[in-house]
Amino acid sequence: MPDLSKYEIFLQELSSIEVQVSAHIELYEELQNRNKELEKKLSSLQKESRQVGMKMQIESGENLSELMGEEGKERVFSSLSVEERENLKSKITDVITKINNHLTSS
């Protein structure tokens, strides 16, 4: 009979370890999923940060010579959405109109 109780204790401990391992596996999988979500969010935020940086450069006029090159144009305009491009075109048109009005009134 004592052997049976040792066997039962062993099975109980084994069962307890199995439950703990199962809990750790679930936690590991949850952490993996959360990590993937955070990596996607980080990538998205980095892309958004680059776009904001490019917009700030355009608005402040920094690195104008770099932006005027063919490579720079592609970088700047490919980072803008269609709506942002149209808005930029509209602003440029307005500025050109103001300059023309100022030149013709003088």
Span 51-71, pLDDT tens digits:
888 877 777 665 555 555 555
State yes or no: pLDDT of 80 exceeds 80.
no
Q: pTM for this structure?
A: 0.45
- Give the whole-angstrom CA distance, residue 21 versus residue 23: 5
d(CA 75, CA 68): 11
Report d(CA 75, CA 79) in Å as an integer: 6
Cα 15 to chain centroid, rounded? 44
Supply angle C-alpha 44, 37, 49, rounded to 5: 15
Determine if residue 63 is left, alpha or beta; phi over 0 gives left, psi from -120 to 50 gives alpha, anything else beta.
left
Query: What are the structural domain ranges in the chain?
Result: 2-62
